[in-house]
Amino acid sequence: MTNSAPVDSDYRTFSLPEILTELEVLLADVERAEQDAAHVLARVLPEHRESARNLIHYVAVRQHDLRPLQESLADYGLSSLGRMEAIVRSWLLTVTETVRAMVEGRHRREIWGPLDDGQEVLDRNSQDLLGRPHGTFRQTRIMVTLPSEAAEQPELVSQMGRVGMDIARINCAHDDETAWASMVASVRSLPGEVRVAMDLGGPKLRTGPLVAGPKVTRVKPVRNQRGETISPSSILLVDAANETVDYVDDDIQIIPVTGLETSQFSEKAELKFRDARGRKRKLVVASVSDAGVLVRCDRTVYFETGLEITHNAHPILTVADLEPVRQHLFVRAGDVITLCNDMAPQPATEAGPHRIGCSLEAAFRDAQPGERILFDDGKIEGTIRAVDAETITVDVTRAGVDGVKLRAEKGINLPDTVLNIPALTEADRSHLPFVAANADAVNLSFVRSAADVADLITELEQLRARRLGITLKIETESGFRDLPRMLLEAMRWSNVGVMIARGDLAVELGFERMAEVQEEILWICEAAHVPVIWATQVLDSLARTGLPSRAEVTDAAMSRRAEAVMLNKGPFIVDAIDTLSSILDRMGGHVAKKRSLLRPLASFSLTHIDEDAARPQPSIVDHD
């Protein structure tokens, strides 16, 4: 068995004695790997020790190219190795004993331990961390991100629970403890068992603010393809002193004004003014109510803060403070972006060079020339040309076909950069007491190393929060590559899980690798008997628009292989939960077929798996 030679589809089938030799080599490697990692196993909680042993066995076996052996076993009608993740050594022993019995011409001896023990451990760990799933057939839980509105709308949370939400996710990057407490109270009032998981925000690597645009609002009528007006725009002029307007209609634009309380209007009265561009415009009063004055206009209008509206040639209304137009940089391939270690607002630019702030100071210390950088979920890609304490100069290599708008508060990814920062920020540490007191599990964002896991465990031990589950969010390349070591570190804790944050992970690794990467994470976690949450953009179109795409329905069906699936928020989230529950129920009634070719794992190795394990893992943050 070779680790590096390519395998063709026309290789020769191994003889039975050759198969036996290959299996014995695998078993010897398994035993040797366990001996080498003895001090790592000693640090794991007793309840996780067998799971840790199995993880080490699995990584050891997957250093080999198993495809020739896999196909040879299939040619003899023997058991595949493609289902061994949950109980590696017993599976290998069973197959080895079967082959040995065939070689020696005797009956097979029974092997110690049932082969479904690993699945039972995984099921128990999943229930401990995630609770029991709802539904008739499905074994996959549904996690739902609660929107900010849930703090004031307990009936929304009730609807989510009624259609199948098993776990409510609260994102600590948004809202505050008052809102979170309200959300938790609504979840706890639901019938049955619905868990609460809270996401820590982690370090924010985002673009800085841009100079505010003009305070202008555009309102336009509906026109046909010839540009002819077929329906005038509807505008509600409201008193700027009123904080809220009890008037909901997506087709009506609300414009705050002053002077409304002293003015009298009759139906069909005409209000005139020059808009922000100096164009003469006329509004025709349609109705007057307690909500305000509803007017119509058959031309495009640019309202601006301070604009005066006249009636019978007398100024009577003034447009109050409007929201500024959201600004952007228009970035094209070949442009230069300068990231600034200063969050002062930068001017919007339609052509390079561009300047914009970066929220993470460590980037200016750790980034190196030649490394890749991505903006806004990978829509813009560049290469770092130069770095100093105040700026990072980026040469843009890709920005769509005709350019991309880059706005404030958009994500920045540095997939090649080793950022020497902890996963736990000071804000995260301040939120942990609330999380420990109110949640069932904490989701650790931006986790990249065993030291990050150790840091969180130290904080939770100080809070005496042993009952709280831990979920590791895998969203960076370094976090993906260090996953086995992080799992072994996490096994010092009782309830542990992994979330595949597929959005950031796809940006970091490249979309073409995403399918491969999520499969490898599923395999590694199954070997460790650790439940997995399949996250990011599941039924996203349905949640946002009310209509799913065919591709995302297929994705949702595939997600049943995980122990939980996460839905993000959206106006149609209740429909999305109901649909996902139905999909998982239906797929749960089918038998899954799995036949992996088992090429070598390119991403994980036993090298360094026990590095530093014998030494205490200090916190990487100075608490003083």
CATH of the domain at 238: 2.40.33
Shared domain check, 372 and 283: no
For residue 309, the surrounding DSSP H or E stretch is strand 308-311
**Torsion angle defined by CA atoms of residues 488, 122, 583 and 598, in that order, rounded to the nearest 10 degrees:** 70
What's the total number of domains in the chain?
Answer: 2
Shared domain check, 288 and 240: yes
Residue 43: what pLDDT? 94
Question: String of b and e for 302-332 (b: at least 16 CB within 10 Å)?
Answer: bbbbebebebeeeebbbbbebeeeebbbbbb
Round to whole Å and give the CA distance between 39 and 619.
Answer: 21
Shared domain check, 297 and 345: no
For residue 99, the surrounding DSSP H or E stretch is helix 88-104
Residue 591: what pLDDT? 33
Whether residue 278 lies inside any domain: the answer is yes
Whether residue 350 lies inside any domain: the answer is yes
For residue 337, the surrounding DSSP H or E stretch is strand 336-340
Shared domain check, 348 and 280: no
pTM, rounded to two decimals:
0.81
Round to whole Å and give the CA distance between 281 and 302.
Answer: 10
Round to whole Å and give the CA distance between 339 and 355.
Answer: 6
Give one DSSP letter per residue of 118-161, joined into a string.
HHHHHHHHHHHHH----SSS--SEEEEEPPGGGGT-HHHHHHHH
Q: What is the CATH number of the domain that holds 390?
A: 2.40.33.10
User: Could you say which residues of the chain have pLDDT below 70?
Assistant: 1-11, 107-116, 135-137, 243-250, 588-599, 601-603, 607-624
CA 452 → CA 168, 423, 456, 489, distances in Å?
25, 6, 6, 10
Q: Are the C-beta atoms of 580 and 539 separated by less than 8 Å?
A: yes
Q: Which tokens belong to 607?
A: 């090298």
> Beta strands of 172-242 (E only): which ranges?
195-199, 216-219, 222-223, 229-231, 233-239
Round to whole Å and give the CA distance between 382 and 402.
Answer: 16
For residue 393, the surrounding DSSP H or E stretch is strand 391-398
Whether residue 285 lies inside any domain: the answer is yes
Whether residue 138 lies inside any domain: the answer is no
Shared domain check, 251 and 312: yes
Shared domain check, 275 and 339: no
Shared domain check, 346 and 286: no
Round to whole Å and give the CA distance between 301 and 311.
Answer: 17
End-to-end alpha carbon distance in the chain: 54
pLDDT digits (tens, 9 = 90+) for 186-243: 999 999 899 999 999 999 899 999 999 999 999 999 999 988 999 999 999 999 987 5
Shared domain check, 358 and 308: no
Shared domain check, 271 and 344: no
Q: Which amino acid is at 59?
A: V
Residue 620: what pLDDT? 36
Q: Which of 319, 346, 367 is the last residue of a domain?
A: 319
Shared domain check, 341 and 308: no
Round to whole Å and give the CA distance between 415 and 526.
Answer: 26
Domain encompassing residue 265: 216-319
Round to whole Å and give the CA distance between 579 and 5.
Answer: 45
Please, which residues have CB within 8 angstroms of residue 153's CB and are 6 or more apart in sequence? none
Q: Are the C-beta atoms of 257 and 229 separated by less than 8 Å?
A: no
Round to whole Å and give the CA distance between 90 and 563.
Answer: 23
CA angle 378/381/384 to nearest 5° reads: 135
Q: Which tokens belong to 25?
A: 């080599």
For residue 308, the surrounding DSSP H or E stretch is strand 308-311
Whether residue 377 lies inside any domain: the answer is yes
Round to whole Å and give the CA distance between 381 and 387.
Answer: 17
Q: Which of 267, 295, 319 is the last residue of a domain?
A: 319
Shared domain check, 347 and 301: no
Whether residue 236 lies inside any domain: the answer is yes
Nearest residue to 285 (alpha-carbon basis) of 305, 309, 318: 309
Please, which residues have CB within 8 angstroms of residue 423's CB and are 6 or more apart in sequence? 200, 202, 203, 444, 445, 446, 447, 448, 452, 455, 456
Round to whole Å and give the CA distance between 306 and 318.
Answer: 6
Shared domain check, 389 and 338: yes
Q: Are the C-beta atoms of 564 and 591 separated by less than 8 Å?
A: no
Round to whole Å and give the CA distance between 543 and 575.
Answer: 7
Residue 396: what pLDDT? 97
Whether residue 35 lies inside any domain: the answer is no
CA 577 → CA 167, 203, 571, 573, 574, distances in Å?
11, 30, 12, 6, 5
Whether residue 546 lies inside any domain: the answer is no
Q: Which of 319, 354, 385 is the last residue of a domain?
A: 319
